[in-house]
Amino acid sequence: MSEPVLKGREEYGPHFVQSVARALSVMRSFTAQRRSQTLTEVARQTGLDRATARRLLLTLADLGYVASDGRAFELTPRTLELGYAYLSSMSLPEIAQPHLQSLARELNETAALAVLDGEEIVYVSLVQSTRLMAVKISVGTRFDAYTTSMGRVLLAGLPDAELDERFARLKLEARTDHTIRSTRTLRDEIDRVRKQGWSLVDSELEEGLRGAAAPVRDRGGQVVAAANVSVHAGRTTPELVERDYIPMILRTVRLIEADLVSAVAR
């Protein structure tokens, strides 16, 4: 995942409050791989000096968003409040949930819904399979968009100009031996996803994890989310996923879109 990047008034304008950006960068420096960090580690990840990082961490601790054992810091469950207002105001996850439940039950696999946030996807709805997953995911989990089926569907839904801008600053990292390493190859793949209306990613995010996704569009035809199914590669093949799973994902997406249009019309 991308590291926090601090920008200032020269980037955003005179309204920009640097202290807010710095506090958010401190919170974003904590990830699934860095659940607990020392002051030195937080300073390194954010690019802040130790004194500034310390003041921000202690302020976040006073507010209940960070806890410390005297040496290391970690986020607390209170941080969930920051995302709850957004999620609770969205009708889409609530609309999608029963359809994802049906999809997960029919396939006995994990089904999810994600949206695009910067260079990453964010899970906003999830139905976990009883089968073990190679990657631990939950609502709020983030992954680099280019490594996932949902991310590629969401990227494919962007206008060409915006997609060009993203590719100009994109840095590809190999998560596995199968991860696409060439921006040209990735762009060709996204163009293919646009034409066929779905994406299949095989062991690019995690070895042995296969994902298939399709776009969810609003009544104006704009891609607003992506729905997917994740399966262990040992239980199926790409050909079987394309033949058996993708038609069911596309059907699920149509049902979500129909309910979304109905909800907007009410």
Residue range 126-179, pLDDT digits in tens = 998 876 555 678 888 889 999 999 999 999 999 888 888 888 888 888 777 888
| pLDDT per position as a tens digit, 187-218 | 999 999 999 999 999 888 888 889 999 999 98
* CATH number for the domain whose boundaries are 9-77: 1.10.10.10
Q: Which helix (H) or strand (E) holds 143?
A: strand 142-144
Amino acid identity at 95 = I
- Where, residue-wise, is CATH 1.10.10.10 in the chain? 9-77
Higher pLDDT, 113 or 10: 113
pLDDT for position 264: 54
Banded pLDDT at 87 (limits 50, 70, 90): low
| Mean pLDDT over the full length of the chain | 86
Banded pLDDT at 66 (limits 50, 70, 90): very high
DSSP string, 14-78: TT--HHHHHHHHHHHT--SS-SEEEHHHHHHHHT--HHHHHHHHHHHHHTTSEEESSSEEEE-GG
The mean pLDDT of 223-229, rounded to a whole number, is 95
pLDDT for position 1: 43
- Quote the CA–CA distance of 179 and 201 in Å, as a whole number: 9
CB 87 within 8 A of CB 201: no
- Quote the CA–CA distance of 228 and 180 in Å, as a whole number: 20
The pTM for the full model equals 0.69
Write the class of the CATH domain 90-265: alpha beta
- Where, residue-wise, is CATH 3.30.450.40 in the chain? 90-265
CA distances, 1 to each of 84, 85, 181, 247 (Å): 22, 24, 15, 31
Share of the chain above pLDDT 70, in %: 89
pLDDT for position 90: 57
Q: Which helix (H) or strand (E) holds 238?
A: helix 238-240
